Structure 1
Amino acid sequence: MANQYDLVVLGGGTAGYVAAIKASQLGMKTAVVESSKLGGTCLHRGCIPTKSFLKSAEVVSVMKNASAYGIDNETPTFEMKNIVDSKNKVVDQMYKGIHYLMKKHNIDIFEGHGRILGPSLFSPMAGTVAVEDPDDDEAESEILVNQNVLISTGSKPRELPFLPFDHDLVLSSDDMMELDDIPRRIAIIGGGVIGLEFASMLNDLGSDVTVLEAGDDILPDEDKEVSRTLKKSLSGRGIHFETGISLDENSIKVQDGSVKVSLDSEMAFDKVLVAVGRSPNIDDLGLTNTKIELDNGFIKTNEHYQTKNNHIYAAGDCIGNLQLAHVATKEAVNAVTHMADSDPYQLDYNHVPRCIYTSPEVASIGMTELQLKAQDISFKSHKIPLNTIGKAVIEGNENGFGKILVDPETKDILGVSLVGPKVTELINEVALAQFLDASALELGTSVHAHPSISEILMELGLDAEGMAIHV
């Protein structure tokens, strides 16, 4: 028997479950189809568990370096199993919370693989969803007839063609969630956000880490000074970097229970983590039954997140914009709002905070100097070291800084980059300032509590007008 819905959401990750809640609030009868667990990658294999790991690593680091705060250093002992258990407790709590929200908003959950059908006896349009039981190939599919579909199936770790995951020696970021122990020596292929967060964590927990990056710089999409500063800081902690390298089947081999990498010399590692990006989860969704087009492997949408079938929307990692949980949720909410015949405030991707939870942290928003130059946009750059801010010095800061890029005529904020303690929290103030179209001067003249690390934003805003106090 067919089920009737206003909206069927394919994928119960961050974008999917938030979209379902928003749709319910707007009066839509809604169903979510999820083949694994509600919460998706972010909750179970990404944002939340990695930050739990990083917090455990931070505690270890503080104990090892307690003398910086007038306390005797202590070398802690730990078992990776207990760190994983701590992570699992956090994830389980959040997972139960999502189930509560689904029940509160009367959202139906279908466990299984969802596939979009073409025009059929259920509907003259493509979009009806068939849900297959993952444990019974012969079971009759649930049929979900709907007015709208939202595809929010997320992404998965990308493999290297010459180094497929074996989940033992060659690991994905998913495999890192259930580590049995800390590898003595590990190579991390990829100097982007995911690779560097794991590098920072594993280094704090005692692993000898080498990062292998094909580009000339780590974090190629971020400010060059951010990249250099973070690399210097991580190198100072003992993380090794090899940049500008090209790996292939001849330079990296898995043999004799280890991973051997041949560059100028041969290096042997206990494990290798491949962190070279993520691919969209769009296989076997029935896209060929629709008019949906792909762009470089990702689902193509318009500014309202509609596909070529205008009642089928897509949001999150599967459409290939910034692959961030907070971007996915905003895209999904905007898509649902548009379904309800409203005109949502369009997401400006230049106003999206980008955070890296290494030690030290990195946070940025807007455009970089290279991006502005490439588009021939005039700007003025103002940089202030974080050691001018008392609370930052207390928190522990050696090379941190704040940088603001400002339009010389309008004084609009074009971009901000921060390196240092707690900056992943500070960047949200800049996001609000940009959302409200605040000028650098308005950021600088607003009152900031003292002592607080956020005073760096006040000083940057004032410095843009030549009025900084502490520099």
Structure 2
Amino acid sequence: MPNDQFDLIVIGGGPGGYVAAIRAAQLGMRTALVEREHLGGICLNWGCIPTKSLLRCSEIAHILHNLDLYCFTAKDISFDLKGIVTRSRDIAKQLSTGITHLLNKNNITVIDGHGKLAGISQNLRKISVSKNGKLVKDYCAKHVILATGARANTLPGVTPNGKNILTYKEAMSPDTMPKKLLIIGSGAIGMEFASFYNDMGVEVTVIESIDRILHAEDTEISAFAMQQFIKQGIKIYTSVNLHQLMVSGSGYNAEIELSGNKKILEVDRVLLAVGIIGNVENIGLESTKVKVEKSHVVTNEWLDTGEPGVYAIGDLVGPPWLAHKASHEAVLCVEKIAGLGGLCPINTRMIPNCTYTRPQIASIGLTEAEAKETRSKLNIGRFPCVGNGKAIILGQQEGIVKTIFSAKTGELLGAHMIGAEVTELIHSYGVAMNLETTEAELMHTIFPHPTLSEMIHESVLHAYGRAIHF
């Protein structure tokens, strides 16, 4: 096979792209990966990883300012902002380097540049790779996976400038801390940054156009979270219309409408956290049968697009916009291309959501409202974190674990958690749902003591009137 010809070419080296390339290589395909900037994509370089590094620092800041809870005292507590940002960048760099090693280990050809579909040549897909706007080389492959990801959305009249109107990318590498920060949008990204900046001493205000924050979560969890954030000092306004953003000195005056009344918010910086849009431009879709809806590529359950031999995965194909979803799609797509049997399409309800605020939030499956739409009767169990010994020991006893079952069949329909380290617990529900576990198996599972995981057991027991500690 010529050096410029492959079984599979993957365009985009994020958590979907590089995983697809590795799995393809494992299955014996000659594979190339085209990446124009950083291996690991947005998630590793400017998303999941560095933001969690920042949030770890803000958690420590919170502990240091509340040392009396643990019978310690400290004076003159301060932080090195440049060091905090550098640490997050170094962690991202370390992991990106690790991906380079994995790709080399699997004999994957990494092509530096911007890849795009460029027609068909001798029954093979042609991919043109350019660098700095100039064509470098053309490559061919039997199959092409598009994994170009997505980018931050914007609002009319609110244009990011990299200085005081920010997207997530600028927000995670500040040179100074603002005194007052306005966050537009209360999804996972918005609330994670609200949690970080608030714990670092910034006066944070969040505005949301709908009637609650974290709208993807169960309404009970969303309401509990809002109470906690307000208690921590974050100002939150829901059902708000942003009329205009006006320059005021070195900052801004945001005019909002709340319950029919206008209000002016004076802030130093503004962070846009209003969702993302797919990177569908300049990847050669125009002359293909690939369909695009609302900035995302349309695929079937096997990640096929409308163009034979062209597939799409990850954020490019729409919600949920999660790295672990992209990686799972990558494996499924490649294994389907390879002709492996026994494959199952992804059930998006089985994908866990995690938000790394303080307290953390995690969920999987149906919300209570969704479950009521399809089931006539439910058994719902709840257990408060304040009843768990480990949560009290950690000094993080604010939270709740909620488990939803079908009363008729015992099917585990969903689980919703807010509290200490719940992002490390939600996978237990995922395993249970994947194994089609009912309440009986969960009740008979022995959970170690003292651990946070005991809250799962107690929540299940509570759903059937058998809770011991609640």
Structure 1 and Structure 2 fold alike (TM over 0.5) = yes
**Alpha-carbon separation, structure 2, partners of 1:142 and 1:387:** 61
CA contact (8 A) 2:379 2:464 kept: no
Corresponding residue for 1:289? Answer: 287
- Aligned-pair identity in percent equals 36
Residues 1:465 and 2:464 are matched in the alignment:
yes
How high is the TM-score relative to the length of structure 1? 0.95
Select the residue among 303, 308, 323 that pairs with 2:321: 323
With over 3 angstroms needed to count, the CA separation of the structure-2 counterparts of 1:387 and 1:317, relative to structure 1, is same
Contact 1:441 1:465 in 2 (8 A): no
Letter in 2 for 1:354: N
CA deviations on 1:265-284 (whole Å, 9 max, x unpaired) are 32211100000001101110
Return the offset for 1:381.
1.6
How far did 1:462 drift? 2.0
Shift in alpha-carbon separation, 1:416–1:73, aligned structure 2, 3 A? farther
1:255, distance to aligned residue in structure 2 (A): 4.1
Please identify which structure carries the higher strand content: 2
Give the corresponding residue for 1:130: 128
d(CA) in 1 for partners of 2:394 and 2:75? 19
Displacement of 1:75 after TM fit? 5.2
Residue type at the aligned position of 2:347: D
| Structure 1 residue 377 displacement after superposition | 5.2
Cα displacement (A) at 1:321: 2.6
Q: 2:175 aligns with which of 166, 174, 180?
A: 180
Distance 1:442 1:467 in 2: 14
Q: Distance in 2 between matches of 1:227 and 1:349?
A: 20
Q: In the alignment, what sits opposite 2:160?
A: 165
User: What is the identity, as a one-letter code, of the residue corresponding to 2:160?
Assistant: F
What is the deviation of 1:376? 5.1
Quickly say closer, same or farther: Cα 1:296–1:374, change in 2 above 3 A. Answer: farther
2:251 to 248, 251, 258: 258
1:240-271 C-alpha deviation (Å, 9 max, x unpaired): 011101113xx322343211112333221110
TM-score (norm 2): 0.96
4+ residue segments displaced more than 3 Å:
374-378
C-alpha distance in 2 between matches for 1:425 and 1:204 = 22
Structure 2 distance, partners of 1:75, 1:304, is: 57
Residues 64, 75 of structure 1: 8 Å contact kept: no
- Tell me the equivalent position of 1:53: 54
Provide the C-alpha distance between the structure 1 equivalents of 2:203 and 2:136, rounded to a whole number of angstroms.
50
In structure 2, C-alpha distance between the alignment counterparts of 1:203 and 1:128, rounded to whole Å? 49
Task: Report how far residue 78 of structure 1 moved.
Answer: 1.1
- Aligned partner of 2:220 in structure 1 is 225
Aligned to 1:333: 331
Give the letter aligned to residue 29 of structure 2: M
| Contact kept? 1:444, 1:460, Cα under 8 Å | no
* Alignment partners' CA distance in 1, 2:359 and 2:293: 36
Show the counterpart of 2:235.
Answer: 240
Mark the runs of 5 or more structure 2 residues left unpaired by the alignment: 257-261
| 1:162–1:377 distance in 2 versus 1, CA, 3 Å | farther
The answer for unaligned runs of 5 or more in structure 1 is none
CA distance in 1, matches of 2:404, 2:75: 42
Is 2:444 the counterpart of 1:445? yes
Give the secondary-structure state (helix, strand or coil) at the position aligned to 2:4: strand
Aligned residues: 463
SS in 2 for 1:117: strand
Give the conservation status (yes or no) of the 8 Å contact 1:13–1:38: yes
Q: What is the identity, as a one-letter code, of the residue corresponding to 2:334?
A: V
Report the equivalent of 1:309: 307
The whole-number CA distance in structure 2 between the counterparts of 1:467 and 1:229 is 24
Deviates more, 1:289-298 or 1:371-380: 371-380
Give distance in 2, aligned partners of 1:439 and 1:310.
41
Corresponding residue SS for 1:14: coil
User: C-alpha deviations, 1:157-216, integer Å up to 9, x for none?
Assistant: 001121011111110001123210111100000011000000000001010000011011
Residues 191-202 of structure 1: matches in 2 within 5 Å? 191-202=186-197
Structure 2 partner of 1:84 = 85
Partner of 2:198: 203
Q: SS in structure 2 opposite 1:226? A: helix
Distance 1:320 1:218 in 2: 21
In 2, Cα distance between the equivalents of 1:141 and 1:132? 5
* Structure 2 Cα separation of the partners of residues 25 and 49 of structure 1: 29
- Cα distance in 2 for residues equivalent to 1:204 and 1:253: 27
- Whether the 8 Å contact between 1:229 and 1:399 is mirrored in structure 2 is no
Q: Could you tell me which amino acid in structure 2 is paired with residue 194 of structure 1?
A: I
